[in-house]
Amino acid sequence: MTTGICPKCNGSEISVVANTATEVAISLGWTATAFLNYYVCTNCGYVELFVQDEKLLPKLAEKYPKVS
């Protein structure tokens, strides 16, 4: 949805919600947290979450198991 197109309905009405009061984050340890942005299709209601800081992706890959 970061391209502005919903993968479920092909709609182009996408809103980005960042830095909300109900912040969702992934803990990477005592000193690092990966905060997430919500991408919401306001046509069908589908939601995707994306890590705000892409530089944290290697730490996520190192800490959490991969899908097999």
Do the domain assignments include residue 8? no
What is the bridge-based pairing of β-strands 25-27 and 33-41?
Answer: antiparallel
Determine, yes or no, domain membership for 3: no
pLDDT tens for the 68 residues of the chain, in order: 989 999 999 999 999 988 766 667 888 988 888 999 999 999 999 999 999 999 999 999 999 999 98
If one counts the domains in the chain, the total is 1
Residue 68 lies in a domain: no
The answer to whether residue 32 sits within a structural domain is yes
- Asked if residue 51 is part of any domain, the answer here is yes
pTM of the model: 0.77
Q: Is residue 47 part of a domain?
A: yes
H/E element holding 34?
strand 33-41
Domain of residue 54: give its range: 14-63
Cα distance between residue 7 and residue 67, in whole Å: 21
Burial class (CB in 10 A: 0-12, 13-18, 19+), 1: buried
